[in-house]
Amino acid sequence: MVQLHEVGWQNAVLREFLTPIFAAHLEAHTSAALAAASRVITPSEVSRMQVLQGYGLPPDRVHAIHHGVDHDLFRPDIPGGLRLVGAPYVLFVGVLHPRKNLEAVRAAVPGLARLGLPHILAAVANPPADRTEPRDPEAQLQLPSLPGRIRLLRQLGDRDLVALMSGAAAFCLPSFFEGFGLPALEAMASGAPVIVSNRGALPEVVGDAALVVDPDPPAVEAALRRVLTDPQLAGRLRRDGIRRAAQFNWRTTAEGWLEVLRMAA
């Protein structure tokens, strides 16, 4: 049995985000794993369909089993986000990679500032695996006209990450593709109003408990403006997100995996 997160590199648009050597490495190892596996697990129906369409496997060999969230850790009553950032903030969590589309959130910051909103962008972003990171990534993220409006945070403990999610005025993940989108689910469980793109498995994960928008800067900025200026909308998204996230837990994930292991045996 093999668990496969996604095969997004088979899409010509998504492949452009990967270096050719890295894409070839992924393709070779994935093909070998799928050839050897009697059963395949993906974390979403979107990823399952990718595997079926890309590799021609029988539908009954590929199973979509959602990831879960640790509800003992990710919950809405963890304080400390403002202490970590120092101002009201929009939160992004993901690898510092073009596919994650942090640039769309960054591009929204000047428009929010023109509205008089004090929010800064807090980015919890780790280095990418397939490319060399700039020597000073935080300096690269800064907006010359708005110094200090973007914070890059790294090497955080779990509790600090949850505190950031719990205290965020909005969480935004406008990726060009996600095989699942665990940070969005964790942010919902933590009580953050969530905005995601309409790509990959993100709509499947958030359901109707988040704002789902095109992954372009104007759409992202408009969604952020709505959430940051409408307390009723932000409150509804917080409540709906917590309820939606409660449907995902690791026990259910483990039970699903166990059933597929029994099939494989």
61 shares its domain with 107: no
Average pLDDT over residues 95-108: 94
Q: Which residues contact 30 (CB under 8 A, 6 or more apart)?
A: 4, 7
55 shares its domain with 89: no
pLDDT value, residue 79: 86
Look at the chain and report how many structural domains it folds into: 2
Average pLDDT over residues 168-195: 97
176 confidence band (pLDDT: 50, 70, 90): very high
Residue 76 included in any domain: no
Range of the domain at 15: 2-68+249-264
95 shares its domain with 141: yes
197 shares its domain with 174: yes
107 shares its domain with 199: yes
Residue 175 included in any domain: yes
User: Tens digits of per-residue pLDDT, 230-257?
Assistant: 999 999 999 999 999 999 999 999 999 9
34 shares its domain with 129: no
30 shares its domain with 160: no
202 shares its domain with 87: yes
Residue 73 included in any domain: no
DSSP state letters, the chain: -EE----GGGSHHHHTTS-HHHHHHHHHHHHHHHHH-S-EEESSHHHHHHHHHHH---GGGEEE------TTTS-TT---HHHHHSS-EEEEEEESSGGG-HHHHHHHHHHHHHTT--PEEEEEEEPPSSSPPPSSHHHHH-BTTBTTSEEEE-S--HHHHHHHHHH-SEEEE--S--SS-HHHHHHHHTT--EEEESSTTHHHHHTTSSEEE-SSHHHHHHHHHHHHH-HHHHHHHHHHHHHHHTT--HHHHHHHHHHHHHHH-
pLDDT value, residue 139: 77
Phi, psi of 173 (to 5 degrees): -135, 85
Residue pair 201/181 in contact (Cβ under 8 Å)? The answer is: yes
Structure tokens at 199: 């790509």
Higher pLDDT, 147 or 212: 212
6 shares its domain with 121: no
Structure tokens at 24: 């070839």
102 shares its domain with 220: yes
- Report the distance separating Cα 193 and Cα 233, nearest Å: 9
Residue 124 included in any domain: yes
Residue 107 included in any domain: yes
pLDDT value, residue 20: 86
Average pLDDT over residues 176-181: 95
Q: Which residues contact 31 (CB under 8 A, 6 or more apart)?
A: 55
133 shares its domain with 148: yes
pLDDT value, residue 134: 67
User: Tens digits of per-residue pLDDT, 186-231?
Assistant: 999 999 999 999 999 999 999 999 999 999 999 999 999 999 999 9
Residue 113 included in any domain: yes
Instruction: Please give the mean pLDDT across all residues of the chain.
Output: 93
118 shares its domain with 196: yes
Query: How far apart, in Å, do the first and last CA atoms of the chain sit?
Result: 9
CATH of the domain at 108: 3.40.50.2000
121 confidence band (pLDDT: 50, 70, 90): very high
**What global pTM score does this model have?**
0.94
Average pLDDT over residues 99-125: 96
